[in-house]
Chain A
Amino acid sequence: MKYSEALREAQAQIMRYDESVFVCGLGVPDPKGVFGSTVGLEEEFGPKRVFDTPACENATVGMMIGASFQGMRPIMVNQRLDFTLLALDQIINHAAKWKWMFGGVQRVPIVIRVIVGRGWGQGAQHSQTMHALFAHIPGLKVVAPVSPKDVKGLLISSIEDDDPVIFIEHRRLYDEEGDVPQGIYRVPIGKANVVQEGVDITLVALSHMVVETEKAGIALKEKGISAEIIDMRSLRPLDMDTILNSVKKTGRLVVIDDDWKLCGIAGEIIAALVENDHKMFKAPPIRLTWPDMPTPTSVVLESAHYTTAKDIYEASCICLDRRVDPALFIDEEREQPFSGPF
């Protein structure tokens, strides 16, 4: 099943048994159904539970907060994460604070689905990840699943969670296929996933970067290097235990983060490890992040902007003090090529 279908299925299955769940956002009931992730929901659940909204992201989040006061569990869908930045007031000043400011009496169980764009010239205002910004805020939960199985299980957990969840999806993953269990199941929020076990080096990534990291893992294996690959899955809460256990074992770390470096999650992970035991590192840890500028649109500039499996392979070799051979990327075609427009 595709990632987009897994998203759709999670919502449909929950909505069948929980009347309080509804889905809204720009384009939610349109024929393409937010890249397939809401297709058919309006037909099944009707326009009262699946509907379009005006272009007013801040009011929409505010209204989801209000609806949650009345026992609803709203899901808001944003076709690009960048649009959600207009709602930071309601997300940060209100949703995130309310459980404290209501003395624990009222919770805000809303899910804000946001899609990160990449490629085909999405550019500076359609490709930001911003997960570190959201992860900075107490009161929010922030997840960014990569596989169809995780995306379904984490969306179900997010809908059932009593806190506001920023659910970060990646447009480039929408057509990725994977095995997905049939019924309702939950992937816990706040639990990282060890995608591949290894002993020589720890590679920590999230969302789409896990795909690139797995490719790098194959190339490293051919060089006789056993990499442990960790998919963070959640940024808040962040599963530092899993990362800590791995780096204690390997002593070497590369964090691959589709985001800017300053004040990012990569730096946060390294800082938390150093605070725990600065002697665990056999070599300086490495952050692989975006250059310190917005995403360009021209295809040539754009591909230079993103971290590739080759970059990860090379950084791993540096961290391991090995000679950097030109790596062989046998799995280059694993990912569906993305064609636009959106």
Chain B
Amino acid sequence: MINHDLKKKLYKEMLYIRMIEERIAEIYHPADEMKCPTHLYTGQEAVAVGICNALIEGDVVCPYHRSHGWYMAKGGDLKAMMAELFGKEAGCSKGWGGSMHLVDVGSGVMGSSSILGGTIPHAAGCALAFQIKEVENVAIASCGDAAIEEGVFHESMNWASLKKLPVVFVCENNLYSTSSPLGVRQPPVEIYKRTVSYGIPGVRVDGNDVLKVYEAALEAVSLARAGDGPTLIEAMTYRWREHVGPNYDYSLGYRSKQELEEWIEKCPIKRVSDVVSEREEELLIEGFSKEIDEAIDFARQSPFPKPS
């Protein structure tokens, strides 16, 4: 059962990520201090937060280009992330990664990739090492719905199933790859059902319901940890802002304002906001705001790396 404290923790983490993303959106233009392609996580917070809360020390995540939420949910350092977005020496990749490649090895964020599906085998490989070394850890491969179309997703699923590797594949299905809707890219078979041919469980969850995501993750992670192999979790969700960058993009015409508004109604944070009082919420917002200010100040003040 999910107790009140945990529910509150999930709420807080989502709120924190939301505030970070919205602040980035706010200051991205016209200052242009963050000179890197940035894929904001606004609207999808429940997925990374729900999954990462089912993990323990030593577990790892190998995320994808929409990486901020995963990095933060797994315990990445906000200052190092901001500095990376600003291209600074103190960045988590020292200025070699940018927004699409966040890494915090100490917290188990094993680097995201801006190549679709690129880190899926990395998670499977971490899982292979866990199995060889007989340690009871689990690796998470996260990706968007377009990565399912890449060969390496299927290669990794096949192997992970074959060897019962302790890996959980998490697909955040936000219905679009840039501006291409799912229907023009994939046959009308739900993503979670692709696992049938690999003989592993596939589950679909409401990706805007952090409690549901958490429960699905807990089950998948316990299976993996017990040696019962991988699961694919398809989390249905929606990105609020444009594919890359800080704006809303319904004016482009590939999706409607109405569709966006329907999803905003399903806001993952609002859905569990009853865990805090209004006063508590105010205090949280105040505290997070300060932390984000500090991280941005830190990033601004950090020196640029020196070209060698």
Residue of A nearest to B158 (CB): A54
Q: How many residues of chain B have a CB within 8 Å of chain A?
A: 39
Chain A residues with Cβ under 8 A from B93's Cβ? Answer: 100-103
Query: Which residues of chain B in 184-209 are interfacial with respect to chain A, using CB atoms and an 8 Å cutoff?
Result: none
With A22-B132, A56-B159, A102-B105 as known contacts, state yes or no: A63 contacts B124, CB within 8 Å: yes
A258 CB to closest chain B CB (Å) equals: 30
Alpha-carbon gap, A63 to B152, bound state (A): 10
A56 CB to closest chain B CB (Å) equals: 3
Chain B residues with Cβ under 8 A from A48's Cβ? Answer: 131-132
Alpha-carbon gap, A58 to B122, bound state (A): 11
Query: Which residues of chain B in 142-201 are interfacial with respect to chain A, using CB atoms and an 8 Å cutoff?
Result: 151-152, 155-156, 158-159, 162
Residues B121 and A106 in contact, CB atoms below 8 Å apart:
no
Residues A54 and B162 in contact, CB atoms below 8 Å apart:
yes
With A101-B103, A103-B97 as known contacts, state yes or no: A62 contacts B158, CB within 8 Å: no
Residue of A nearest to B96 (CB): A100
Q: Size range of the interface on A?
A: 20 to 34
* B interface: dominant SS: helix
The residue among B62, B94, B113, B129 with the most chain A CB atoms within 10 A of its own CB is B129
Residue of B nearest to A49 (CB): B132
Residues B118 and A62 in contact, CB atoms below 8 Å apart:
yes
Binds B, one of A67-75, A122-130, A149-157, A170-178: A67-75
A44 CB to closest chain B CB (Å) equals: 16
With A58-B121, A59-B121, A66-B110 as known contacts, state yes or no: A103 contacts B96, CB within 8 Å: yes
Query: Which residues of chain B in 95-136 are interfacial with respect to chain A, using CB atoms and an 8 Å cutoff?
Result: 96-97, 101, 103, 105, 110-111, 113, 115, 118-133
With A62-B122, A63-B128, A66-B62 as known contacts, state yes or no: A103 contacts B110, CB within 8 Å: no
Chain A residues with Cβ under 8 A from B62's Cβ? Answer: 66
With A63-B128, A72-B132 as known contacts, state yes or no: A58 contacts B155, CB within 8 Å: yes
User: At the interface, yes or no: B60 with Cβ under 8 Å from chain A?
Assistant: yes
User: At the interface, yes or no: B81 with Cβ under 8 Å from chain A?
Assistant: no
Residues A103 and B128 in contact, CB atoms below 8 Å apart:
no
With A54-B162, A71-B129, A101-B111 as known contacts, state yes or no: A66 contacts B139, CB within 8 Å: yes
Residues B128 and A69 in contact, CB atoms below 8 Å apart:
no
Query: Which residues of chain A in 18-59 are interfacial with respect to chain B, using CB atoms and an 8 Å cutoff?
Result: 22, 48-49, 53-54, 56, 58-59
Chain A residues with Cβ under 8 A from B113's Cβ? Answer: 93-94
Chain B residues with Cβ under 8 A from A7's Cβ? Answer: none
Alpha-carbon gap, A269 to B230, bound state (A): 49
User: At the interface, yes or no: B246 with Cβ under 8 Å from chain A?
Assistant: no
Residues A59 and B159 in contact, CB atoms below 8 Å apart:
yes
Residues A63 and B122 in contact, CB atoms below 8 Å apart:
yes
Chain A residues with Cβ under 8 A from B115's Cβ? Answer: 89, 93-94
Alpha-carbon gap, A249 to B127, bound state (A): 54
Chain B residues with Cβ under 8 A from A49's Cβ? Answer: 132
User: At the interface, yes or no: A65 with Cβ under 8 Å from chain B?
Assistant: yes
Residues B91 and A66 in contact, CB atoms below 8 Å apart:
no
User: At the interface, yes or no: B82 with Cβ under 8 Å from chain A?
Assistant: no
Chain A residues with Cβ under 8 A from B119's Cβ? Answer: 62
Residues A65 and B125 in contact, CB atoms below 8 Å apart:
yes
Residues of A in contact with B (beta carbons under 8 Å apart): 22, 48-49, 53-54, 56, 58-72, 89-90, 93-94, 98, 100-106
- What are 15 residue pairs bridging A and B, where the CB atoms are less than 8 Å apart in the complex? A54-B159, A59-B124, A61-B121, A62-B119, A64-B125, A65-B122, A66-B122, A66-B129, A68-B125, A69-B110, A69-B126, A70-B129, A72-B132, A100-B96, A101-B111
A22-B132, A68-B125 are known; give 10 further A-B pairs, CB within 8 A: A59-B124, A63-B156, A66-B123, A67-B129, A69-B60, A69-B125, A70-B129, A90-B118, A101-B93, A105-B103
